[in-house]
Amino acid sequence: MPKCLNWGPDSVALTTNCCGVACWLGAARLDALRPSNLPTVSDAAKREDQDERKTKTWFLVLAYDGTDFAGWQRQAEGVRTLQGELEKALALIFRFPVKTLGASRTDAGVHAHGQVCHFESPEYWDSDASDDVLLKRLRLTLPAALLARRIGRAPEGFHARLSSCRKTYSYRLSTSLELFPFEARRCWACGALNLAKLQEGLRTLDGRPLDWTAFSMGDYEPEYHGPVVKTVQLLLKVTTRTTRTTRAAWRDDR
């Protein structure tokens, strides 16, 4: 058997210190003696590129106080948004850039009890951490106004917006201008309202299928926008707040 069959990395390094012709001959002989079934560097690069394109989908359920944020949607650098803060936290935990997609894009100052979003991770990314451990890490990383309620692997084909079958919005109005400080962020003090007229207007729209095409941006794209005809269910709930006055009592034994 020719001696060159036993060449290893040290032999290759030795030949590279010779003249250019010797280096070329050494490389040619090693390549000719390589078994044909070994993968080449280009094959390995192709497989790595394919692995990076394979992804896993995760879902995330959030609650947040949107008072101090410029809405959900990420914006230009320096603008603090909920999506921006979430993606920074996810990037720290998963150790790669993360882009999320939410079921809804709430405006500035709007809160959420159950905002749903999804994001993708490379197929090759794996961790021994359970969903509970990932949830704990995310809660410790996010700002106090943004709470991660649930996280986990999403079923195949899941899409936070297109898979949504119903959304619930709540608008809180106060007919009294005496609004307690801890309610001010979640209620609008609008003053007196004609509740009978308001109820009459709600009945006009309640349960009716409506075409929302006019609220979409640009041309209508079925794969992006989904169905544009939605049925709205409206409910007016009136509550009365009872104000209690607490008196401090003491006894003077003088």
The two beta strands, 146-153 and 55-64, are antiparallel
Could you give the residue ranges of the DSSP H alpha helices within the chain? 9-15, 20-33, 41-53, 82-94, 131-141, 195-205, 222-225
Distance CA 176, CA 242 (A): 12
Q: Which residue has the tokens 């100052």?
A: 109
Burial of 53 (0-12, 13-18, 19+ CB in 10 A): exposed
- Please tell me which residue in 43, 51, 68, 107 is annotated as part of the active site: 107
Q: If you write DSSP's letter for every residue of 143-188 in order, what string do you get?
A: -TTEEEEEEEEPPTT--TTTT---------EESSS---GGGGGG-E
Cβ proximity of 82 and 64 under 8 Å = yes
Helices (H) and strands (E) in the chain, counts: 7, 8
Residue 239: enclosing H or E segment and its boundaries? none
DSSP 8-class letter at 46: H
Q: Is 51 an annotated catalytic residue?
A: no
Q: Which residue has the tokens 């801890």?
A: 182
Task: Show which residues are catalytic.
Answer: 107
